[in-house]
A and B are shown apart, each in its own frame.
Chain A
Amino acid sequence: MSLENNGYPDLDEIKNSPGYPKDSRLAKGNCIVIECIQEIPCNPCEVACKFGAIKVGQPITNLPVFDGELCTGCGNCIADCPGQAIFLVNKAYAPEKALVAFPYEFYPLPEKDEIVIATNRSGKEIGKGKVIKVINPKKNDRTPVIYLEVPLELADEVRSMKDLSGKEDKQERE
């Protein structure tokens, strides 16, 4: 299992888990993907979804079961997952472009329209992305979520970005 040996899951491991939507649902646009494939006692995702799209039940070590038909893509679950294993993928965002949203708890945060380097699950730099928005509402309890526009073919791979510690922390100045 890639997760146990390397520290990151590979796409097959995730696609075979009940937290991943069908390809047909993903193609329709704005959909959550849950990359949680180990049985650990945890269920905030079930509580987070107001539309009942995520079910864990008892015992709480059950892998979350995701129903793509009920998912509206609101993204409320992203910040609530303590394992930061939930992402938003929109494959119908724009021609040849997808939108990927991921939790990001590092400073400095990027700004709207900034071009950043997108990374995949193993941390490999796989392309560039444009920051569409960065949200950090109070209810996220300090887990910002970054919405990144990436080439469509990278939608299943992009799950974070390279840190911006090289640039000056503009937030400090404000």
Chain B
Amino acid sequence: MRIINHPILGKDERKKKVTIYVDGKPISAIQGEPILAALLAQGIRVNRITKKMKEPRGLYCGIGRCTDCVMIVNGIPNVRTCVTFVEEGMRIETQEGLGQWKNKK
């Protein structure tokens, strides 16, 4: 859920939008925000599934330290979505376990 009007922060004046793809689905995001914020705005709270116990994980520390929010971004796994900013056309996938490298260099 986005905060449109805030008593201290004021109105949300950000205009530039980008489209990102989350598990194939196009989602509108605001330029300048981290991937995780765009997902939370849509109510998406599961970022990855653990390797052994297949449990869901999502936002925990929010500042790039705990790695609970990592997802596969443009084919690269283990990308911390709370400190990685959205880009037009970005492909984001829920990471299963340790993830797979789809774009091998």
Contact = CB atoms under 8 A, between A and B. Distances in A.
Contacts of A106: 7
B4 interface: yes
B6 interface: yes
Q: Is the interface of A mostly helix, strand, loop or mixed?
A: loop
B94 to A, nearest CB: 32
Interface string A103-138: 001110000000000000000000000000000000
Interface residues of B, number: 5
A110 to B, nearest CB: 13
Interface string A145-160: 0000000000000000
Contacts of A107: 5-7
B12 to A, nearest CB: 10
A13 interface: no
Contacts of B8: 105, 142
A6 interface: no
A169 B8 CA distance: 15
A23 interface: no
Interface of A: 105-107, 142, 144, 169, 171-172
